[in-house]
A and B are shown apart, each in its own frame.
Chain A
Amino acid sequence: MSHRRTHHDRVLIVDDDASLAEMLSIVLEGEGLTTAVCRSGDKVPAAMGSFRPDVVLLDLMLPGVDGMEVCRRIRESSNVPIVMLTARTDTDDVVAGLAAGADDYIVKPFKNSELVARIRARLRRTDQILETLEFGDIVLDPAGHTVHRGGQPLELTPLEFDLLACLLGTPEQVFTREVLLQKVWGYHHPGDTKLVNVHMTRLRSKIEDDAENPTIIRTVRGVGYQAIAPS
């Protein structure tokens, strides 16, 4: 399906707990994935360079540099999908992690199948569009997963690309958060609308001239989002 499936997908596990990190490796390797473990946040940049992961599994509670900071540092140089592990269900923490650049999160403890499903969902591209899409001055190229606005390339994560492609693919259609969760995140997670909200904020900050007054993606109060066709 995807161009990356020719080799084993690579997962970088960033976790300070040795047992948990090893256990994560065992389970993911059992699923046919290649893994590497980073025991502290300081070593992540080096591992990013040498291991070149396809997805990062990041524990938010790390000694030294904390998970949020690691997340931000990865995002400075890479659009690699990040799934964070959190022990806290507190909304604030999850939202902060997502705002720092994580694509998805999973709350400890979890089922192995759930973990694998989340990782796979981030590895698999949800093909929202098949051909190059022009939308006003925005051009989306599904082959190279690139976005240009007015000729300038935009740095979007794969998830943000899919989110944008989903909305622009059928302009004017209102997508509820539930539908977006299913189509873009690739699994059904009822009620977890903060995932959509936080990513929408990040996406807007990248594509809109003024993220406070969006002109491309409109919020339909109480329903969801829609792309406004350029006039």
Chain B
Amino acid sequence: MSEPREGLWGGVRRGASSVAGFWRRSLRLRVVGSTVALTSLAIGLTGWALLAQVADGLGEARSTSAVAEARAGFDRVRAQLETTAVADAAAASEAVSQIVDSLTQSGQGEGRYDVVVAGPLGEPGEPAPVRSSGNVSASAIPDDLVETVADSDGVYWRFAEVPVAEGETRPVVVVGSRLDVPSTGDDYGIYYVFSTADQQETLNLVRNALALAGVAMIVMVAAVALVMSRQVLEPVRLARRTAERFAAGHLEQRMHVRGEDDLARLSESFNQMAASLQSQIARLENLSKLQQRFVSDVSHELRTPLTTIKMAGDVLHEARSGWDPSTARAAELLHRELQRFEELLADLMDLSRFDAGAAQLELESVDLAEVARRIVGDPVLTRKHIDVRLVGADEPVVTEADLRRVDRVVRNLVANAAAYSRSEDVVVTVGENAGSVSLSVRDHGVGLTSEESLRVFDRFWRADPARAAGGTGLGLSIARGDARLHGGDLRVGSIAGRGTDFVLTLPKPGGDVKRPALEPMREAGDA
């Protein structure tokens, strides 16, 4: 039961939030929206004030004419009463009735007013007999007017509503005055009830015209706002598009400057910024090229003599058996240290290429499982009596990668594990998920402290200088550089006394390494 309602509510909420989102994103919608809202408010207020003034004016005109007409009527009645001799109250009442009838007839004839006569008036608060023409009853006369008329001389008027049918009223103006019948001394209240339907109609007409004009005005303002916002926002959009293209690498992208207004100045500033960025980037590119050139030159200049030395060293090394022990030993040391020197040079060159951004990937389809199998089966490892176990390497784990670099990283990790693993037990695990492939090399050696774990990828850093088992101290830095060149990563997890775990993660084509297939072991999660 509640399911569809929630669905509906959810839909409404989604709809509302998408409208809200559009409102947030579209500057133009906001400009037009707020313009329309403010204009509506202004037009509404103006219209209301105008209408009130017109209503006042119409009411005043109507009341003035009504009072003038009533006054004339009252004068006529007074004159008539003065000339009519009445003997007693009944006769007076009869006379008044006749007057009312005559007045009413003249009113009815033109359909302009009704007449109500109340009296003779007794004590205040005491209801007086009422005579009236038409459908107007005594209740139509406002009470305060009745009191005012009873108490004071003069002519008074009020606006009022008189009922015409069930639940319907019509607007009227009521003019009243006290009438003394001189012969009897009785007082009568006499009231003219003028219809203001004409004025109301005029007022309605004016109101409708104003409303129509107001709506038309708002629509026009909205249209104007739309056009104006377009005029102002179009250059902004243009600037956005230019900036996007610039960010996408089109560094020659510039804005078109036209005129001298704020937008032109914006364009000019944008162009200045773009030019400055472009020249900065060009300078950096140039620097990077110089750096690459330098690396290449140093590499060549060092390599040629090193090659000669190394070849000579090899010759001496092979001939050492015929020499006295110390000379033979010297040849051995020469040979060994030349090897180290060469490795160091090669590693330094690799790092320089990473730094200069000159390292290149040769991508091909690489099966991490096969790489792991090949390296684990390397006789160099078996010679050292290190037991390497493979996990998850039965199925191919394939991604696009540089085989030479991947091979180098894995070889380095396994060799490291072999060198530092005291338990002679190394586990290589291969795994994959939707976005990445991972290879973990876990040893059960002495492990690293958390501080050492942080420094393990630093250049020339060694876990224990005294225990240094050869190598250049650059291997892990290069391994991480290789991993990152692929858009992947090399991470370490370690527990002192229990071993170290390096995890190489490489992205699959179109994937990323935000959620690696394997995670390095952690203090808590280690089983």
Contacts and interface: CB of A to CB of B under 8 A. Distances in A.
> Do A and B form a real pair?
yes
Interface of A: 17, 19-20, 23-24, 26-27, 30, 61, 85, 87-92, 108-113, 115, 190-194, 222
Contact of B407 (A19, A27, A61, A190): A190
Given A19-B305, A109-B306, A24 B311 contact: yes
Contacts of A110: 307, 310
Contacts, number: 71
B201 interface: no
Contacts of A90: 296, 358, 360
B364 A19 contact: no
B310 A109 contact: yes
A198 to B, nearest CB: 13
A87 B305 CA distance: 11
8 contacts: A19-B305, A85-B307, A87-B300, A90-B358, A91-B360, A112-B314, A190-B403, A193-B364
Contacts of B374: 190
B315 interface: yes
Contacts of B404: 191-192
Nearest to A16: B304
Contacts of A192: 404
Nearest to A22: B308
Given A88-B299, A190-B407, A108 B315 contact: no
A108 B303 contact: yes
Given A190-B407, A191-B403, A193-B364, A87 B312 contact: no
A85 B299 CA distance: 14
A30 B306 contact: no
Contacts of A24: 311
Contacts of A92: 360
Q: Is the interface of B mostly helix, strand, loop or mixed?
A: helix
Interface in B455-504: none
A110 B312 CA distance: 11
Contacts of B3: none
A1 B305 CA distance: 37
Nearest to B309: A109
B312 A23 contact: yes
Nearest to A15: B304
A144 to B, nearest CB: 37
B362 interface: yes
Given A90-B360, A109-B307, A110-B307, 6 more contacts: A26-B311, A61-B304, A87-B300, A110-B310, A194-B362, A222-B365
B342 interface: yes
Given A109-B310, A191-B407, A87 B315 contact: no
B362 A109 contact: no
Nearest to A30: B315
A87 B299 contact: yes
A91 B310 contact: no
Interface in B376-431: 403-404, 407
Given A191-B403, A194-B362, A222-B365, A108 B306 contact: yes
A222 B367 CA distance: 11
Contacts of A111: 310, 314
A190 to B, nearest CB: 7
Contacts of A113: 314
Contacts of A88: 296, 299-300
Contacts of A30: 315
B407 A23 contact: no
Nearest to A107: B303
Contacts of B349: 89
B403 A87 contact: no
B314 A108 contact: no
A47 B377 CA distance: 47
6 A-B pairs closest in CB distance: A87-B300, A87-B303, A109-B307, A112-B314, A108-B307, A108-B303
A113 B362 CA distance: 28
Q: Tell me which of A20, A85, A90, A109 has the highest count of chain B C-beta atoms within 10 A of its own C-beta.
A: A109
B318 to A, nearest CB: 8
Given A112-B314, A222-B365, A20 B296 contact: no
Contact of A23 (B300, B311, B362): B311
Q: Tell me which of A89, A108, A110, A112 has the highest count of chain B C-beta atoms within 10 A of its own C-beta.
A: A108
A26 B313 CA distance: 12
A218 to B, nearest CB: 18
A89 B358 CA distance: 12
A109 B303 contact: yes
Q: Tell me which of B306, B308, B407 has the highest count of chain A C-beta atoms within 10 A of its own C-beta.
A: B308
Contacts of B310: 109-111
A74 B307 CA distance: 25
Interface in B280-324: 296, 299-300, 303-308, 310-312, 314-315, 318
A222 B398 CA distance: 11
Given A23-B312, A190-B407, A109 B360 contact: no
B342 A109 contact: yes
Contacts of A194: 362
Interface string B343-365: 00000010000000010101011
B296 A27 contact: no
Interface in B120-162: none
Contacts of B312: 23
A109 B358 CA distance: 21
A111 B404 CA distance: 20
Contact of B307 (A20, A91, A193): A20
Contacts of A61: 300, 304
Nearest to B314: A112
B311 A112 contact: yes
Nearest to B365: A222
A47 to B, nearest CB: 21
Nearest to A106: B307
Contacts of B407: 190-191
B301 to A, nearest CB: 8
Contacts of A115: 311
Given A190-B407, A193-B364, A194-B362, A87 B304 contact: yes
B406 to A, nearest CB: 9
Nearest to A59: B304
Contacts of A108: 303-304, 306-307
A191 B403 CA distance: 6
Interface in B11-51: none
Contacts of B314: 27, 111-113
B311 A27 contact: yes
A27 B315 contact: yes
Contact of B304 (A17, A89, A112, A191): A17
